[in-house]
Amino acid sequence: MKTRNMMIKAIPLLFAIFAVGMTGCSYVVDAIEGAIMNRSSFSIEASYNGGFVDISWDESGGGEAFAGWEIYMTKEPDDEYAGYAVVAARYDLEPLNVNIGESSTITFVDDAVLALGAANSFSLNVGGINPGDAGVYFFRVGKIHWDEEDQDKRDDDFPTWASDEGYYEGETNIGAISGQARVEIP
């Protein structure tokens, strides 16, 4: 009986210690979020630097299924992924300008660097954000994979497959996604 009473009292204390300890480290929070909800799989860091947002991540790409990296941006941090706009990828997936905020646009970036598995950073030009839309923005990085069910088709015609924008848009999915990074843009 005494052991049972001690356990009943200890469980809430252990949960409280665990919760307080985990809130201080974004890497741990992202790992827990990824394990529980199959959402974020890796962490990123982002900072504003004179008209650019510098984003870095510790996830590695590469491998047969790797198709590239995508950069996402939003002002709505708690809107899951619905509010995120794709602002950079290996191919031009968006119109020339992406609407961000009430009256601002930024130029979509298609950059071959985002096709490299070894890439682990990217600088995004956010100079098109008007002073009225200045404020806090949130960024994520997506690790894009070729669809598994198309493996045989891809192997038969890989050079064309890997270099064709149409295949990229129609035959890929998000294999992993980062936690969000908060950046204040003046």
In 3D space, the residue among 107, 117, 65 whose CA is nearest the CA of residue 85 turns out to be 107
pLDDT of residue 38: 46
Q: Domain 43-185, CATH 1.10.15.40 — does that match?
A: no
pLDDT of residue 34: 47
- What amino acid is encoded at 12 in this protein? P
pLDDT band, residue 96 (cuts 50/70/90) = low
First to last CA, the chain: 61
Model confidence pLDDT, tens digit, residues 132-158: 889 999 999 999 988 766 556 655 655
Domain locations along the chain: 1-38, 43-185
Tokens linked to 34: 């990824």
pLDDT tens-digit map of 27-43: 555 554 444 444 578 99
The reported pTM is 0.72
- pLDDT, position 125: 93
